[in-house]
Chains A and B, each alone.
Chain A
Amino acid sequence: MSTKIVEANSMTPKVEGRTKMKKHVWRKKIVPYIFIAPSVIFFSIFMLYPIGYSFVMSFQTSVGGEMTFNGLENYRRLFNDAIFLKALKNTFIILAVQVPIMLFLALILAVLLHSSLLKWKAMFRVSFFLPAVTSLVAYSIIFSIMLMNDGLMNQLLEWIGIGSIPWLSHPFWAKVSLILAMTWRWVGYNMVIYLAALQNISEDLYEAASIDGASKVRQFFSITIPQLKPVILFTAILSTIGTLQLFDEPYTLTKGGPSDETLTIGMYLYQTGFRYFDFGYASTIAYVIVVLIAILSFIQFKVSGDER
């Protein structure tokens, strides 16, 4: 009997040690989950659940204020919807024209501002980046005032003898106005991204190229562009996503007019959801935008040959 008690007593510290160890390991495993739990819970409630629910809603329609399942009817309706197709066309025109111009200007400005010849770099950088920190609505209002029929731009054009242009009331010029406004706002933002990437390119590469007799232009195309390729791809994808979701600028500048010529898919989504309260159809449009963004991003990855 006494032998057993002695054995039990001699085992206790080992067992206790193991239990403590297990508790410690368990705590170590569980603590990170406890820390990330609040953000995961809020992310699930406010992001995952709406995303999932809007997917369900994209197969529903509102009948008498109640959502009823209608299968693929919303998707069928979408591809026969003339207004949606027009909005899609407008969005792609803006995407095809504005994004390349903006990225090209941003790249040129970044290269110029990276020049060792330049003084007052900070002042120039701030000047170009300032539009990016302006409120979207505020800058759209400024542009709408400047581009009015009696606005500053037209007075300036008349003064130099070109004559006034119906910036916001002509289908073509309304698109030009949007492109101008968006380019003004986003060039500085992309320029800063390129500038950061340029500062990471080793000077040794340029030095070696200079010794080999490469001109500045050759250095730009053979060193700068290849080194910036991942960043250019990144900005191209970000800009594509931004343009496909375009809403603020056309809403404030042109309200989608004249005759839906500047209506974008983002605006049409808003109108369908919050003007006509057709949330099922609006969810369908949202999912089509998601699919378009995924396809365009995939194409950009493939074209650039970046598999990372």
Chain B
Amino acid sequence: MKKMSLYVTLTIGALISLFPFYWAFIGATNESGKLFFKAAFICSRDKIG
């Protein structure tokens, strides 16, 4: 249990730490308009229309 919570905490932290790099990659490979579309896609499929 102790080990599990350690891994969960560190994995969440690592994901938060790495997410801006993923978003930088998305930004580098998409036009600005598409970037916001991608954000909408991540957050809610209903908004894609």
Contacts and interface: CB of A to CB of B under 8 A. Distances in A.
Interface of A: 109, 112-113, 115, 117-118, 123-124, 127-128, 130-131, 134, 138-139, 142-143, 145-146, 150-152, 155-156, 158-159, 184, 187-188
A135 to B, nearest CB: 11
Contacts of A187: 17
Contacts of A123: 14
A130 B17 contact: yes
Of B3, B6, B39, B40, chain A has the most CB atoms within 10 Å of the CB of B39
A112 B27 contact: no
A184 B27 CA distance: 19
| B interface, over-half SS | helix
B20 A156 contact: no
A128 B6 CA distance: 15
B10 A150 contact: no
Contacts of A146: 20, 23
A138 B20 CA distance: 10
Nearest to A181: B20
B43 A143 contact: no
Contact of B20 (A115, A155, A184, A188): A184
Contacts of A117: 2-3, 6
Interface in B4-24: 6-7, 9-10, 13-14, 16-18, 20-21, 23-24
A142 B10 contact: no
A138 B23 CA distance: 12
20 contacts: A112-B10, A113-B10, A117-B2, A124-B10, A127-B13, A127-B18, A128-B13, A128-B14, A130-B18, A142-B20, A142-B24, A143-B20, A145-B27, A146-B20, A150-B36, A155-B39, A155-B42, A155-B43, A155-B47, A159-B43
Nearest to A153: B39
A115 B9 CA distance: 13
A117 B36 CA distance: 41
Nearest to A128: B17
A130 B2 CA distance: 26
B29 interface: no
Contacts of A127: 13-14, 17-18
A270 B48 CA distance: 43
Contacts of B35: 145
B16 to A, nearest CB: 8
B9 to A, nearest CB: 7
A156 B36 contact: no
Contacts of A188: 17
A152 B16 CA distance: 13
Nearest to B22: A142
A112 B21 CA distance: 23
A124 B13 CA distance: 9
